[in-house]
Amino acid sequence: MGEDAEYAASAKLLPSNQAIADEVGANEAGIGYIGLGYLTDDVKVVAIDGVKASIESAADGSYPISRFLYMYSNGEPTGVMAAYLEWILGAEGQQLVADEGFVPLP
């Protein structure tokens, strides 16, 4: 698709990664874009330029369709927010990210 291309009238615009994964998994002709943490055995990963989406290929940048997730705060985080950010960026939080099938920080 080009940058200005419109979706087909028959395209389903679904509200979440999970909804897309469920639809693609149930529809033999379905295709969609979801986060790595939503992959199941019912969803086939398509290679782009010979590179399959995986934690490793997203982390090393070889998979061309990936993005970073950012957390923003209104000013310097304090209190519970600061504690949460410290936890999620630490070993325990990053292990949870990996356990859920997402790409942990290097």
Is pTM, for the whole model, over 0.75? no
d(CA 96, CA 79): 22
Q: What average pLDDT does range 68-90 have in this prediction?
A: 94
Q: Give the range of the structural domain holding residue 47, as residue numbers without chain letter.
A: 11-66
Domain assignment of residue 54, yes or no: yes
| DSSP per-residue codes, 58-99 | HHTT-SSS--------SSS--HHHHHHHHHHHSHHHHHHHHH
Tell me how crowded residue 14 is: count the other CB atoms within 10 A of its CB.
15
Number of domains making up the chain: 2
pLDDT digits (tens, 9 = 90+) for 36-64: 888 888 788 889 999 999 999 999 999 99
Say whether both 20 and 60 belong to one domain: yes
